[in-house]
Structure formats: C-alpha cells, structure tokens
Amino acid sequence: MTISYQDLVGGDPTSVRKAIRSGDYTGHTAGLGRGFLQVNLAILPQSYALDFMRFCQRNMKPCPLAGVSDTGNPQMFTLGHDIDIRTDVSAYNIYRDGKLDQVVTDISNVWTDEMVAFALGCSFTFEHALQRAGIPVWHIDNNRTVPMFRSNIDTVPAGPFSGKMVVSMRAIPADRVAEAAEISSKYPLAHGAPIFWGDPAGIGIADVSSPDWGDSVPVEEGQLSVFWACGVTPQVAIEAAQLSICITHKPGCMLITDIAEDAVVPVVFSTLPNPGNFRQREK
C-alpha cells in the first residue's frame, strides 16, 4: 500500500516512521511530524567516529549533534521509542570511496556491528514555527524539497573531514526577515538563526534558481533569499574523506524523532532495560 504525503500531514512521529519503515512512504519529510525534531544522518565505521564527532563539535552551526548510537546498535534509543536507524528514514545515500553509489530505502543489508550513527538537527524543525507565525514556507506549501547549495564558507577540519558549508534557502518577505531570524534562533538543535541573507553571491552562490540539492524556489518581488546552515554539510565532508563506506540520509528525507522541536538539548528516551553497548548485550 502506498501512502501519500497528504495522508501523513498531521500524523505523529510514530505513525510517520511506521509508514516509512514499511516502505509505504518514500518521499521527503518537510512539514511532517509537526512539533518534533527532525534530524540528518551520518553513519560511518567506528574507526572514524571520533574524528567525525570532533568535526561536528567544531562546526556546530551546520552540524548540531542531537544523538549518537552505540557502536553496532541500530536502535536510536536516545531519540525516541522504537527507532531503527536502518529502516526509519525514507531514503538513504550510500557512499563508497567518497562517491555516491546507491540510493536505497532500507540499509539493513549493509549495516554492520562496526557502524556508528550520528543524528544532526535539521532546519525542517523550525519551519513549523515560521508557519505558525504566518511566514510563508513555499516548498512546504507546494510539496517540494527545500533548495540546498554549496557555499564558499569553509568548515573547520577534523581528521579526514573538511569542506565547504552547505546552506538551505527560503524566500522570506523582506519586512519579516528579522522576525524569521529571531524565531529560528530559538531552535539551536535545528541550526538556529540564519547565517546570511540578501545577494546569494555574497556566499558564493551564482544562481539561486539552480540548487545543488532539492527543488528550485521562486524569490518574488519584496522577498529576500535567506540562508541557514544545513545538515547536508557532513555529506560534503564525507565525500572529501573518501571513506570506504558511509551512509547518510538523502537530502530532504529526514528521521523524525520523539524529541520536542523546541528542545535545547535532547531528552534521552529508552525502551531498553540496559541501554549500554549493543554487542555486549547480544553476547
């Protein structure tokens, strides 16, 4: 059975994840799971996990760390109840040697007990607050994916991870940009306030109608292009690192958690009797 985007609008995180886990929904998640934090993903071998955590710590604006799995444990118990990182994202990108190799809807057959999953806050979260304030969000209203661009802003390297910051763009009425900035600043786990607005050339974007990821969004008269740091930034760093294997979400297809969207720090959930090392529990 196929479930449409409209069928899931207004649904709670559990019902949305259930539709994704079953394969009945494989689309973008913008506008879904209202009231709850959405996260980007980076899944990589344990041998690179510490360097990647350093990369996130040094680049908190594009990489706000919301959760880290135990090595080899696909159950993200710190993000909610019954979250399986292998099945609960609507589409995954699999990179091999720094190149995009596959886009899949289930990674159960490539997950190993040496993998660590990182969850990074996503700007989809604060969009709900913008809408509640009456600020239009075109890509949600038109069932599209937010446009994302490679900027000319350097990240701070850590180990093999480095590269330019990726930004997401929303066209905001010029007289409401300051309000949008104030609203989004209240969501530090969702990138917080924008990093730039105005002429896109100021951050190295030549053509705002031609995004590197997502869909083009019109910028009407009286609107400004407003840019937020984006959780696709680690995918650029992962490409540069050229790991033998790494898995991320497909841009626009996030994991919807049970964490309240306005949380300052994640709440730890657990349905496990002893949420320690997964492999030790299995022995």
> What is the separation, in whole angstroms, between the first and last Cα of the chain?
38
Task: Of 53, 80, 64, give the one whose Cα is nearest residue 189.
Answer: 64
Q: Can you list the domains of the chain with their CATH numbers?
A: 5-122+241-261 (3.40.1640.10), 124-233 (3.30.2040.10)
Which tokens sit at 123?
């700007």
CA–chain centroid gap for 4, Å, is 21
Provide the residue-wise pLDDT of the chain in tens; the chain has 283 residues. 689 999 999 999 999 999 999 999 999 998 899 889 899 899 999 999 999 999 999 999 999 999 999 999 999 989 998 999 999 999 999 999 989 999 999 999 999 999 999 999 888 778 888 999 999 999 989 988 899 999 999 999 999 999 999 999 999 999 999 999 999 999 888 899 999 999 999 999 999 999 999 999 999 999 999 999 998 898 899 889 999 999 999 988 999 999 887 776 555 555 444 444 333 333 3
Task: Of 89, 26, 65, give the one whose Cα is nearest residue 248.
Answer: 89
Q: What is the CA radius of gyration of the chain?
A: 18
This prediction's pTM? 0.84
Q: What is the pLDDT of residue 1?
A: 67
Which tokens sit at 154?
């350097």
Residue with tokens 């709670």: 12
Q: What is the pLDDT of residue 239?
A: 87
Q: What is the pLDDT of residue 278?
A: 37
Q: What is the pLDDT of residue 34?
A: 86
